[in-house]
Amino acid sequence: MKPRSSSPRTRPNPVPPPDSLASAFLGAARLVGEIRTGTTLTQALADLDPDRRLTAAQRGAIQDYTYNTLRDFGRGGFMLSRLMDKPPPDQIENLLLVALHRLEQRPADAHTIVDQAVEAAGQLLRGNLRALVNGVLRNYLRRSSELTQAADHDPVARYRHPQWWIEHIRKAYPQHWEEILTAGNIHPPMALRPNLRRTTAAALHKTLGNAGIASHPQPNGALLLEQASPVSRLPGFEAGLMSVQDIGAQWVPDLLDLAPGQRVLDACAAPGGKTAHILERCDLELTAIELDPQRARRIEENLERLGLDASLRIADCSRLDDWWDGQPFDRILADVPCSASGVVRRHPDIKWLRRADDIDRFASQQARILDQLWHTLKAGGKMLYVTCSLFPEENAAQVSRFLSRQPDARQLPLVGMEDGQLRPCAEHDGFYYALLARHG
């Protein structure tokens, strides 16, 4: 996405009711505009309602329209380019993107969608822009079959990813690239992790069932929900019986080969899900490192809710002099910063904010972290390298380069994971795991 210029704003028409579709369209269009200027979706959502005036339903509608518009951004932009000779003012363009997505998904509601989008347009700019929005959307309805056919023959519009991303995935996964791109556009599944210090997977499964929440036990102890649920509806959530965590992220304790009394490091710990999971599974001494103080606070909050304790340090894990006491660790979790290309359905802004050259930047940072952390690992110890990426430069190629630099390192096989790469699917997001042992 390229930064967009802003336009002066006035309110020439009465403000629509806060629970109206027009208000939801306005809220989503504003968030889409913020993302297009470089703000992350996480930050935009955090700033959405600072005065807490929105109801849960109103906030949920804005969030839903924003997520879906961003997932389909490549398609919406394609449609709009065929419907207009030149781009409209930024705010109107963002509104049209939201409305076009809704029209394609809900054609039976076309009259209401167009009416509410026109009402929303009246809140944005001076001039005959209500008529412009009305004309563009009605033109889409007349030409929807033609436009859909054309979009399905355009890679960016069809797969809803940037062209460079499509090419990268196609090269890396010649047999699976289409299913990977498709998985990146669907609504993500919701899974829970039982806190084994307070319950069991079987007991939690039963508790959820009694509350009318259907779940399915998974091989690694996770519970996959049939339908996503607000945490406020999850019985025992505030009491620390469970956490929300993708199934693919719940392999860490098993792969790390934990044992009581071990000295363990979680090197890039925020928001603390994997930190907590390790502590739930084993009595050990855990140090969690996080660079960002605000994200470190999230670790503290998660540990407090779950009744767990760790030594938390705010530092750059690759600057050993800032935090390491010289005592080696038995196990290290290196869940390193990455492109997050495996979790784009949860963070659809990533597809449009990332650039191709970002991959090399992440790879360089990962290599620096790996090389530094290796000095802190005990001989005979194990390090689990983790990303939520699908790009080989951050995964298998990264590990291969690391092994060539470190003669005392070897990669161990992972039972049930042929190459350590989990591709995104209906049950879980995309992750990569590599278990590295230090001999000597």
Q: How far apart are CA 231 and CA 109, in angstroms?
A: 30
pLDDT digits (tens, 9 = 90+) for 91-115: 999 999 999 999 999 999 999 999 9
6, pLDDT greater than 90: no
Q: Which H or E run contains 140? A: helix 129-151
The verdict on residue 2 lying in a domain is: no
Q: Is residue 234 located within the same domain as residue 98?
A: no
CB burial class (10 A; 0-12, 13-18, 19+) of residue 122?
middle
282, pLDDT greater than 80: yes
The verdict on residue 182 lying in a domain is: no
Q: How far apart are CA 24 and CA 192, in angstroms?
A: 30
- Domain boundary (199, 218, 245) is at 245
Q: What is the mean pLDDT of residues 325-346?
A: 97
At residue 431, the pLDDT reads 98
Residue keyed to tokens 């076309």? 110
Q: Is residue 255 located within the same domain as residue 235?
A: no
Indicate the SS3 state at residue 399.
Answer: helix
At residue 141, the pLDDT reads 97
Q: Is residue 307 located within the same domain as residue 355?
A: yes
The verdict on residue 237 lying in a domain is: yes
Indicate the SS3 state at residue 53.
Answer: coil
Q: Is residue 264 located within the same domain as residue 235?
A: no
The verdict on residue 14 lying in a domain is: no
**Do residues 32 and 66 touch, judged by C-beta distance below 8 A?**
yes
Percent of the chain exceeding pLDDT 90 equals 92
Cis-peptide into 271, omega within 30 deg: yes
393, pLDDT greater than 60: yes
Q: Is residue 229 located within the same domain as residue 308?
A: no
How many distinct structural domains can be found in the chain?
3
Q: Is residue 404 located within the same domain as residue 272?
A: yes
Q: Is residue 202 located within the same domain as residue 214?
A: yes
Nearest to 359 by CA among 321, 387, 379: 387
Sheet holding 191-194, edge to edge: 215-217, 223-225, 191-194, 242-244
13, pLDDT greater than 60: yes
The verdict on residue 252 lying in a domain is: yes
7, pLDDT greater than 50: no
Cα angle 426, 63, 190; round to 5: 25
pLDDT digits (tens, 9 = 90+) for 165-183: 999 999 999 999 999 999 9
Q: Which residue is catalytic, options 268, 282, 338, 388?
A: 388
Q: Is residue 238 located within the same domain as residue 255?
A: no
Catalytic residue check, 268: no
Q: How far apart are CA 122 and CA 131, in angstroms?
A: 9
Average pLDDT along the chain:
94
1, pLDDT greater than 80: no
**Do residues 277 and 290 touch, judged by C-beta distance below 8 A?**
no
pLDDT digits (tens, 9 = 90+) for 201-240: 999 999 999 999 999 999 999 999 999 999 999 999 999 9
At residue 57, the pLDDT reads 93
**Do residues 136 and 60 touch, judged by C-beta distance below 8 A?**
no
pLDDT digits (tens, 9 = 90+) for 106-152: 999 999 999 999 999 999 876 678 999 999 999 999 999 999 999 99
Residue 331's domain comprises: 248-438
Residue 151 sits in a domain whose CATH number is 1.10.940.10
Q: Is residue 281 located within the same domain as residue 336?
A: yes
Q: Is residue 415 located within the same domain as residue 314?
A: yes
Q: What is the mean pLDDT of residues 315-341?
A: 97
Q: How far apart are CA 231 and CA 242, in angstroms?
A: 10
pTM listed for this prediction = 0.92
Q: Is residue 136 located within the same domain as residue 153?
A: yes
12, pLDDT greater than 90: no
Per-residue buried b or exposed e for 263-273, using 16+ beta carbons within 10 Å of the residue's own CB: bbbbbbbbebb
Residue 334 sits in a domain whose CATH number is 3.40.50.150
Q: Please, what sign has the CA dihedral across residues 345, 350, 354, 359?
A: negative
8, pLDDT greater than 50: no
**Do residues 70 and 103 touch, judged by C-beta distance below 8 A?**
no
Per-residue buried b or exposed e for 101-121, using 16+ beta carbons within 10 Å of the residue's own CB: bbbbeeeeebeebbebbbbbb
